[in-house]
Amino acid sequence: MSARYGMVIDLDRCTGCGACMMACAAENNVPALPKATNRTGLTPMLVRKVSNGRNGVAQREVFIPILCMHCEQHTPCVSVCPQQAVEVDRATGIVMQMPQRCLGCRYCMTACPYHARYFNWWDPAWPAGTEKSLNPGVAVRMRGVVEKCNMCHARLHAAQEKAAAAGKREIDPADYVPACVEACPTGAIRFGNLADPNDPVTQESHSPEAFRFLARLGTEPKVYYKSKEAWVRALAEAASSTEVQHG
Amino acid sequence: MFPGVDGFHWTAGHIIFLGLFFAVAATILTTVASAAWRSARDIREDRAAGLCWKSDFAELPVHDRRCRHELAGRVISRTCDNAFNCGSCGKYAQFAVLPARGDSNPSGLNYPDDRLYSRDHTWVKVEPGGTVSIGLDDFAQHVLGTPDSITLPEIGSEIELNGTAWQMKKHKQKIRVRAPIEGTVIAKGTQQDDWILKIQPRRDVKDPLTTRHLLRGPEVRGWIVREMERLQLQLQPLNTAPTLADGGTLMPNLMDSLPHADWETVLADTFLEA
Amino acid sequence: MASLTMTETHVTDSRWIARGVERISLSRFLLCLAPWFVLLVIGVYAAGLCLFYGLNQTNMDNRFAFGLWIFLDLGIIALGAGAFFTGFLVYILKRSELKPILNTAVVVGFICYSGAVSILMIDVGQPLRAWFTFWHPNTHSMLTEVTFCISCYLLVLSLEYIPILLRNRQLRKLPSFLIFEHQLHKLVPVLAAVGTLLSFFHQGSLGGLYGVLRGRPFAFRDGIFIWPSTFFLFILSAIASGPSFLMLVTATVEKVTGKRLVPPDLFRRLGLISGVLLAVYIAAKSIDTLIWMDFTSPAMGFAPWLSYMHKPFGTPILFAEIVLFGLIPAFLLTYRRTAAKRGWLLSAAAMACMGILLNRFVLTVQTLALPTLSFDEFLTYTPSWQEVASFAGVIAYGVIVYSLSYRYLPLFPAQKGDETHVSGR
């Protein structure tokens, strides 16, 4: 049975601590790039701070973790890649990036409305000694290729191997949890199988407080956000951009 | 489809797209290959000389492409666009019947009437028995004087019309003399002879078409007068015009007398090199 | 200075220059090209930096993943469209009055395409993987179509360039070269037809490149069959600007050399072709813009004015694209009185080319600068010196290749013997 892995991120719980970013970088062997700026760095998971643009007591702020939304339909980055380095895995619904096939043309980056794709502008490097802490299950990416969140694919592999060793076809959902989900201290990021109607994440995604960014583009992103605040939900669509200041 | 690609699956799109692409690529490569093959065939079948001449002819300046009938004064102005191949020229007969102007003997130079002349300054003399002798005309001999060396083709070899008949060297200038007629070399001239090669023509010399392209009679004078004018203009920068035009005669052995002239251009014009 | 004097007196390349044409002395020629050589060396150095140290040498970033290079690539490929279009008009539609410009069209096309391909090779992160596209192509990608067509078309242009090259005075002395030139020249109509097909598709696909970007509502367009409308707009705009660009190149060469190289009537002819096509293009673009404003953009949740609220990409730029560099040059190029005056004609041609460049600029840069998420910022980007220098190097390469071609190859058929001098040099 094929899965459709997705997330619901409760923005009301997010404190902007950045633990998800750290966990993501550690899990996926994201190199430390001393020369990178916030426009050239590698942040497959990125927490952004957004303000409602008011002053004084009316001021509100929200932290929004942005990652690959794993678009289900018309996946913008898949159709543009000239050499099939991007694919939607039909078994999992995960948008896969294959750095070993990537030419580095960055067409997929221009295609992504969420800016969730990152280019390796530098050779990957780690401060002396820290390379010992690299995750052996994840290949490091070379300079000149694009990478992005793949929902910790190495963890999925590990779960599949474990299931196979036990003679099972299906993985135990408890064995496959992406690093950011695991790391979030407030439990704001929840991960589940959207194809399973009984999965709590699926049910949460149907809540009236849940929304997706730029849903009207028609790409069916599988990362949902959730907030009780109307102004936060209004961030979903571009038309509201005049009312909101960014932080 | 392609080795080493995991998860590659054929779709209709691939078939259409790759089919189109490879059709286009095949068309391009076939074009080049066929051009190469046809070139090889031309060279194998000795058509190279004719094709090169056609191409060289197209590069000649307009004043070097005057029609023989203009040279003879039968028409006022006409440019040849048929590579001097009067045998296949549709207008030849129409103009040939018109009266020519002027006499046949170019001033001061020796152009006997029993010979036919080619635009690249060779002559052809039909010998009894159907062979021909060919040689360098008086104008070219005045310009060159004695060449430093001459390389003649071997007896028995074939020469092609407008291909290379023989080669000469003078003052480091390489001169290629075009053949005025096609055929087999049967004899090589010595220093004493006025001819340079004897040729057994491929086609019967009694057929007028065999030698139709060669100049004769009043055409020769008109042509040589123009050639003299050209030479004079080319050597003018050296301020030697009086010696040349003196009484209309050409000084012998010009290349030795005027070593600093632009001989490369003069020789290219004289021997119709592009 | 001693060496220079020696150059003047002893070294001459007259053996390589066609007889009967007038060219400046070798030393003067080299002196004129020297600044371009310097620029080329700087460009190669900058490109080398990008290849050696990686694209961190540029100022592109994750948001501005395409920058100056893609904009200029699209620009020169559009301007280079004159090559296929002239070939199409001469060989397929038998408009032989355009023949005098054909060789220049081929050389300009060759320069534009080879330049664009070299820049693309620096622009991608892993140039050595370029062949992957041929090995496991994604046939849904516009970039695949572009890659296939451009590489094939560059091959076609090289093959069209070969006959011109082989007619050099020394090269033609080798009979096999001359025969090959002769035979290849006979088959050039086939190449022109193939070139037309390839150009049609890749000019279109370059437009489609942006039109398919569902994630960028400013660029996304509804489609006709499998192609977005920008596919057809790019073809139209490329064939509209191509003849204008050829006119500008030829006029520049005439100015520099002080010679009349083509019949004066030819410019008017090129202008007319350019003007009519430009008018058609502007009409199509206006309709396309209206459809986008009224249907496409709102349907995706983006009010069209959102795309024009960030300076400097306001509506004036749209106005400039459609009226200033569209309707006005189209009028000037086609109206009998203005087209009869060389000054007006050339200015209009320059405006037409500017308009096309502006269009490519807007589509590449504005698309990426505009925010998509509501809390995104409008970003700007300034190219690094390495980006500018690499591209300047390509322009220098173009100038050098064209100058060498002009000096040693028979680019203009009228050059022999009867060149008319416009003024003293």
Q: Are residues B143 and B18 in the same domain?
A: no
The reply to whether B2 falls in a domain is no
Neighbours of chain C (3+ CB pairs under 8 A): A, B
CATH dotted code for C25-414: 1.20.1630.10
Q: Kindly state whether A196 is in contact with chain B, defined as any CB-CB distance less than 8 angstroms.
A: no
Q: Which of B20, B24, B44 to mutate to test the interface with C (most CBs of C within 10 A)?
A: B24
Q: In chain B, how many domains are there?
A: 2
| Residue C324 binned pLDDT confidence (cut-offs 50, 70, 90) | very high
What's the DSSP call for residue A156? H
**Could you give phi then psi for residue B150, rounded to 5 degrees?**
-130, 135
Instruction: Tell me which residue in A115, A145, A216 faces C301 most closely, judged by beta carbons.
Output: A216
- The tokens describing C363, both together, are 């589509």
Residue numbers of chain B with a pLDDT score lower than 50: 1, 245
Residue among B250, B241, B265, B262 at smallest CA distance from B106: B250
Could you tell me the CATH number of the domain that includes residue B206?
Answer: 2.40.50.100
Range scoring the smallest mean pLDDT among A65-69, B50-54, C8-12, C24-28: C8-12
Give the residue-averaged pLDDT of C9-31. 82
Distance between CA atoms of residues B118 and B213, nearest Å: 8
Label residues C314-324 b or e (16+ Cβ within 10 Å = b).
eeebbeebbeb
Structural domains of chain A in order of their starting residue, each with its CATH number: 5-246 (3.30.70.20)
Q: Report chain C's mean pLDDT, rounded to a whole number.
A: 89
- Whether residue B208 is contained in a domain is answered as yes
pLDDT 10s digits, C348-405: 999 999 999 999 999 999 999 999 998 988 888 999 999 999 999 999 999 999 999 9
Alpha-carbon distance A109 to C213, whole Å? 10
At B255 the pLDDT is 84
User: What one-character-per-residue DSSP string does A17-73 give?
Assistant: --HHHHHHHHHTTPPP-TT--TTTS--SSEEEEEE-S--GGG--EEEEEE------S
Q: Assess whether B19 and B138 both reside in one domain.
A: no
ipTM of this predicted structure: 0.89
Residues within 8 A of A (CB atoms), C 297-336 only = 299-303, 306
Cβ C22 vs Cβ C420: under 8 Å = no
- Are C36 and C398 within 8 A, CB to CB? no
Q: What residues of C are in contact with residue B34 (Cβ under 8 Å)?
A: 183, 187
Q: Looking at the partner chain, which of C54, C130, C143 has a beta carbon nearest the beta carbon of A107? A: C143
State whether B34 and B57 are in the same domain: no
What Rg, from alpha-carbon coordinates, does chain A have? Answer: 18
Q: Taking 70 as the threshold, does the pLDDT of residue C1 lie above it?
A: no
What integer is the mean pLDDT of A80-107?
A: 93
Let me know whether B40 and B58 are in one domain.
no
Q: How many CB atoms lie within 10 A of CB A116?
A: 23
Task: Provide mean pLDDT across the span A209-225.
Answer: 94
Quick one: average pLDDT of C405-414?
86
The pLDDT score that the predictor gives to residue A99 is 92
pLDDT for residue A242: 45
Which residues of chain A have a CB within 8 Å of the CB of B7?
87
* Residue pointed to by tokens 């592109």: C60
Q: Which residue of A has its CA nearest to B9?
A: A84
Token pair of A23, please?
Answer: 């966990």
C299/A121 CB distance under 8 A: no
Range of the domain at B97: 49-270
Q: At what angle do helices C385-408 and C68-79 cross, to 10 degrees?
A: 20
Q: Which residue of A has its CA nearest to C208?
A: A80
In a domain, B3, yes or no: no
Per-residue pLDDT tens for C236-283? 999 999 999 999 999 999 999 988 888 888 999 999 999 999 999 999
B28 with B80, same domain? no
pLDDT of A151 higher than 60: yes
pLDDT for A247 equals 38
For residues B23 and B95, membership in a common domain is answered with no
By residue count, chain C amounts to 425
Question: Residue A226's pLDDT is what?
Answer: 95
Domain ranges of chain C: 25-414
Q: Which two tokens stand for residue C417?
A: 């013997």
Query: Do B41 and B56 belong to one domain?
Result: no
Domain shared by B218 and B234, yes or no: yes
Q: Locate the chain B residue with the closest alpha carbon to A89.
A: B7
Per the CB < 8 A criterion, the answer to whether C219 and C211 are in contact is yes
Tell me, yes or no, if B8 comes closer than 8 A to chain C by beta carbon: yes
Parallel, antiparallel, or unpaired for β C420-421 and B149-151?
Answer: unpaired
Give the per-residue pLDDT at C5: 40
pLDDT in tens, C331-354: 999 999 988 999 999 999 999 999
One domain for residues B54 and B34 = no
Beta bridge partners of A211: A225
Chains that touch B (3 or more CB pairs under 8 A): A, C
pLDDT at B244: 55
Q: Is residue B222 part of a domain?
A: yes
Mean pLDDT of C68-78: 94
Residue B109 domain flag: yes
Tell me the C-alpha distance between C49 and C29, whole Å: 30
SS3 of residue B221 by DSSP: helix
Mean pLDDT of C159-169: 90
Residue C365 DSSP SS3: helix
Distance CA C327, CA C425 (A): 37
Compute, in degrees rounded to 10, the torsion defined by CA atoms C54, C127, A90, A195: 20
Which region among A5-9, A149-153, B61-65, C122-126 has the lowest average model confidence (pLDDT)? B61-65
Cβ <8 Å between B32 and C14? no
In a domain, B7, yes or no: no
Q: What is the pLDDT confidence band of residue C8, given thresholds at 50, 70 and 90? A: very low
Please tell me which of the candidates C123, C125, C306 has its beta carbon nearest to residue A143: C125
In the predicted model, what is the mean pLDDT of residues C210-229?
89
Q: Which residues of B touch C144 (CB under 8 A)?
A: 17
Q: How near does any CA of chain A get to the CA of C393, in Å?
A: 21
pLDDT on residue C3: 41
Query: What was the pLDDT predicted at C417?
Result: 46
To probe the interface with B, which of C174, C181, C183 has the most B CB atoms within 10 Å? C183
Whether B38 and B55 map to the same domain: the answer is no
pLDDT-wise least confident of A218-232, C104-118, C253-267? C253-267
Query: Taking residues C41-62, what's their average pLDDT?
Result: 95
State CA C408 to chain mean position distance: 23
* Residues B88 and B26 placed together within one structural domain of the fold: no
B108 shares its domain with B230: yes
- On whether residue B9 sits in a domain, the answer given is no
